[in-house]
Amino acid sequence: MEDDMEKELISNDKESEAALQKKHLSMLDRLSKRQQSRSTNSTEPSTESTSSFLTRFSQLKSSIESHLSESQSISSDPSQLKQHFDKISESISDLEKLVAQSSYFLPSYDVRSSLKTVSDLKRNLENLSSELIPKKKFSFKNKASKKERDSVIPESKSKQSIVTVHDSIQSSFVVRDSPGFRNKTGEVLIGEFSESEVGEFTISDLDSCEVRIIGCVRALFIHRLKNCRVYVGPVTGSILIEEVEGCVFVIASHQIRIHGAKGSDFYLRVRSRPIVEDCNGVRFAPYCLSYRGIEDDLRGAGLDAETGNWANVDDFRWLRAVQSPNWSILPENERVGIVDISKSESMKEEI
């Protein structure tokens, strides 16, 4: 009897070991297929190594610098110069996209170095634009809202107003002169660019505001926001967010960098891994924005497919192998539902 029990125990142990071995092999197979899939689906097969990326990056950088050096020679023709700067702007955006698409396999140092180079090129273009092209003044049209029942910030409904920006804004790569929302408190700020893509757009120094951007912009800069809600259609280049607190962002872009954020939630769709630095208490969830025509906008920006990168966050201030304590996944029971920013008909009547 004891021999039979011993044989049964040995048999059960073997079966358990075999099951664990099968589970282990299955896990290894899934990981292998995942890696193969990522390699197969890469949009830039020529940049699957750091060396090939650096070669391509250097070539594009040299080309942009060459075109920048030609700017003085055509400064006598403003229209030609404007087209010249627009082409350089597009080239810099392409360079930034290359970094975004390659960031998942690049070492952190190369990502930071490449982003700094892109930033320097932008600054050089900005300086040339300021020097050679007369600045155009930009103003906003303010309209008081009659009804604010759709606002996500109910405590300041009675004091809110709607500020709108329309498609007539010309594309520009000059940050300081770019269209944007600045220095507002308790307002609903709406930017509509459904007919054409705007160059750069800036959102800065807002308190208790709701921002809605319908359509595409090439690059978005967000600075010093507190207790705000920011809903943004696809950004074809990159988004830089600095010094925000107590905010909610619903944004889609090829590359997203977040610096100095505190206690804020980010609903993202992003082609590369989001980068955070000097942040704490930030949480991430998938993109959840809706408005009429957003599917076409996302498709045109190359952001129609969900990559899952919203959960693959790189913390440049946390180099250990364990999870960074500075960010986390937003629990599903705390997430907002689909945010439809085209439903607010009462506000549309004011535009």
**φ, ψ of residue 196 in degrees (nearest 5):** -155, 155
CA quadruple 87, 88, 92, 98: dihedral sign: positive
- Give pLDDT, residue 156: 39
DSSP secondary-structure letter at 156? G
- Long-range contacts, 181-186 (Cβ 8 Å, 24+): 181/140, 181/206, 181/209, 181/211, 182/206, 184/209, 185/209, 186/153, 186/156, 186/159, 186/160
Residue 271: exposure state from Cβ atoms within 10 A (0-12, 13-18, ≥19): buried
Is residue 227 within 8 A of residue 208, CB to CB? The reply is: yes
* Helix/strand/coil for 123: helix
- Rounded CA-CA distance 247/269 in Å is 17
* Helix/strand/coil for 96: helix
Name the H helices within the chain: 2-40, 50-69, 78-102, 108-132, 294-300, 345-348
Which residues contact residue 278 at a Cβ distance below 8 angstroms, ignoring those fewer than 6 apart?
259, 260, 317
- What does 199-237 look like in DSSP terms, one character per residue? EEEEEEEEES-EEEEEEEEEEEEEEEEES-EEEEEEEEE
Token match 């892109």: residue?
118
- Give pLDDT, residue 105: 73
Name which CATH class applies to 1-33+50-132.
mainly alpha
- Rounded CA-CA distance 190/168 in Å is 14
- From first to last of its 351 residues, what are the pLDDT tens digits of the chain? 555 555 555 555 556 555 555 555 555 455 445 444 444 444 444 335 788 888 889 999 999 998 888 888 877 777 788 888 888 988 888 888 788 767 667 776 777 788 888 888 888 888 888 787 765 444 444 444 443 434 343 333 334 445 555 443 333 333 445 789 999 999 999 988 866 666 789 999 999 999 999 999 988 999 999 999 999 999 988 899 999 999 999 999 999 999 999 999 999 999 888 999 999 999 999 999 999 999 999 998 899 989 899 999 988 877 666 788 899 999 999 999 999 998 654 343 232
- Give pLDDT, residue 39: 43
Is residue 210 within 8 A of residue 185, CB to CB? The reply is: no
**180-340 topology per CATH:** Pectate Lyase C-like (2.160.20)
* Helix/strand/coil for 326: coil
Which two tokens mark 254? 């090829």
- Rounded CA-CA distance 97/271 in Å is 9
Question: Which residue spans of the chain are classified as CATH 1.20.58.1250?
Answer: 1-33+50-132
- What does 5-50 look like in DSSP terms, one character per residue? HHHHHHHHHHHHHHHHHHHHHHHHHHHHHHHHHHHHT-S-GGGSSH
CA of residue 105 relative to chain centroid, distance: 19
- Rounded CA-CA distance 123/72 in Å is 16
Question: Which residue spans of the chain are classified as CATH 2.160.20.70?
Answer: 180-340
Which residues contact residue 46 at a Cβ distance below 8 angstroms, ignoring those fewer than 6 apart?
52, 56
**φ, ψ of residue 281 in degrees (nearest 5):** 70, 30
Is residue 124 within 8 A of residue 90, CB to CB? The reply is: no
